[in-house]
Amino acid sequence: MRLMVTGGAGFIGSAVARRAIADGHDVLNVDKLTYAANLDNVAEIASNERYHFAQQDICDQKAMTALIDGFKPDAIMHLAAESHVDRSIDGPRDFIDTNIVGTYALLEAARGYVRSGAAPKGFRFHHISTDEVYGSLGAEGAFTEDSPYRPNSPYSASKASSDMLARAWSETFDLPVVISNCSNNYGPYQFPEKLIPVVVINALEGRPIPVYGKGENVRDWLYVGDHAEALLLVAQQGAPGETYNIGGRAERSNLDLVRMICALLDKALLESESRPHDSLIAFVDDRPGHDFRYAINCDKIERALGWTPTMTIEEGMARTVRWYLDNRSWWEAIRRRGFDTARRQGQAR
Ligand SMILES: NC(=O)c1ccc[n+]([C@@H]2O[C@H](COP(=O)([O-])OP(=O)(O)OC[C@H]3O[C@@H](n4cnc5c(N)ncnc54)[C@H](O)[C@@H]3O)[C@@H](O)[C@H]2O)c1
């Protein structure tokens, strides 16, 4: 397939691009290269003749139209977004621009492509979103595709808005849209301001490991490689007009997750002066509007497309921690470039 992937220099988008190239697809990666992007994430596919890159802002509808007309994708996989909840609290504007206006521009460009007759049969616009649009759960239950939208942060509100636009373009303009909503991703190449890299890097450097509130918030954790596989399946086989929830079936409280990482580091770093690393845990003021629990019911994608997560959290987290230990130069280069870690020292999305 010819896949146009927006946000392909970010964490999940680059996993999709690497996997798509490995699977034999052609990829056009469209990315503005914001602070969250890193071309090192796609270095291993950069010289592949089936891989193409365009530095563009998705808000630029003319540029999106030109890229689509030139590349003639079989599917657009739309991942480009401002993605960090804490940043959306400090400054929501970029989230409105990219997540809402940018999605609108891309939907319009895709609509023009279909209307012109140039789009191939089976073309799909795959909009990638989050479980955070559903709001917060109590101790029981899990989000299904029919759960009501109740976003609580500027980030999740902007993603919810973009989901609504995608849905409306499907209903009103017959654009073949598929939407997927996933839980917290983890794995290699995640930007160092997010929870898991923060824990590993702070522990390595003997600095406090910040945990919001009492660390009781619960998230479902999805290995990024499993997610990339699910996304490629949805882009190829998802039924237009449908939504698919994608989860890892691995719920953990933030505190349990941080302790799991600390235990892995204790084993890996026998000489570390910071052992046991969980002694570095420092509880910090809770994030405003912090959702208590997210959980995903992913029966539908399993039933309809035969996908199920294959990575256990124990194995996935061990691989992830090992990757950050082995790829110090990757995250050190990002830190040298400088990014604002001071804000709240990056906690789970
Ligand atoms: N990371 C998660 O756990 C998670 C969970 C659920 C959903 N999602 C969704 O998955 C998608 C990817 O998330 P991620 O964690 O890889 O994000 P990321 O922040 O790592 O990457 C986002 C990418 O989008 C690019 N981008 C931002 N604004 C752009 C613009 N205006 N034009 C073009 N490119 C732009 C950035 O340069 C970056 O490369 C997002 O839509 C996010 O909402 C992520």
- Closest by CA to 124, choosing from 244, 239, 246, 7, is 239
Residue type, 237: Q
Return the SS3 of 281: strand
Q: What's the predicted TM-score (pTM) here?
A: 0.96
Instruction: Find out whether 107 and 168 touch, Cβ atoms under 8 Å.
Output: no
- Concerning whether 229 is annotated as a catalytic residue, the answer is no
DSSP letter at 50? Answer: T
Boundaries of domain holding 67: 2-191+221-250+293-310
**How many CB atoms are located within 10 Å of the residue 208 CB?**
14
Residue 201 lies in a domain: no
Domain with residue 306: its CATH number is 3.40.50.720
Q: Assess if residue 230 is contained within a domain.
A: yes
Whether 332 maps to a domain, the answer reads no
* Closest ligand 1 atom number to CA of residue 37: 39
Residue nearest to atom 41 of ligand 1 (CA): 79
pLDDT at residue 289, rounded to an integer: 85
State how far the Cα of 246 lies from the Cα of 294, in Å rounded to an integer: 12
Q: What pLDDT does residue 327 have?
A: 97
Residue 158, domain member (yes or no): yes
Q: Residue 16's closest CA among 68, 125, 6?
A: 6
Structure tokens at 80: 């480009």
Pocket of ligand 1 (CB under 6 A): 6-7, 9-13, 31-34, 36-37, 57-59, 79-83, 98, 102, 128, 130, 159, 182, 184-185, 191, 349
In a domain, 11, yes or no: yes
Atom of ligand 1 nearest to the CA of 80: 24
Length of the chain in terms of residues written: 349
- Sign of torsion, CA 8 9 13 16? positive
11: which 2 tokens?
């964490």
Location of structure tokens 């110090």: 328
**pLDDT recorded at residue 340:** 53
Q: Are 310 and 302 in contact (CB under 8 A)?
A: no
Cβ neighbours for 332, distance < 8 A, ≥ 6 positions apart: none
For a pocket test of ligand 1, which of 12, 68, 77, 220 has the largest count of ligand atoms closer than 8 A to its C-beta?
12
The owner of tokens 């995250």 is 331
Choosing from 5, 30, 34 the residue with most ligand 1 atoms within 8 A of its CB, the one to mutate for a pocket test is: 34
The rounded distance, in Å, linking the Cα atoms of 251 and 237 is 28
**Could you tell me if residue 168 is inside a domain?**
yes
Close Cβ partners of 321 (under 8 Å, ≥ 6 residues apart): 200, 261, 264, 265, 268
**Annotation says 155 is catalytic:** yes
| 337 domain-assigned | no
Look-up: residue for tokens 């910040």? Answer: 210
Work out how many domains the chain is built from and give that number.
1
Extended strands (E) in 110-225: 124-130, 177-182, 184-186, 209-212, 218-223
Main-chain dihedrals φ then ψ at residue 57, nearest 5 degrees: -95, 130
pLDDT tens column, 132-159:
999 999 999 999 999 999 999 999 999 9
In a domain, 272, yes or no: no
Residue 344 backbone phi and psi in degrees, to 5: -140, 20
Low-confidence ranges of the chain (pLDDT < 50): 341-349
Q: Counting atoms of ligand 1 from 1, which one is nearest the CA of 59?
A: 31
Q: pLDDT at position 343, please?
A: 46
Cβ–Cβ < 8 Å for 182, 130: yes
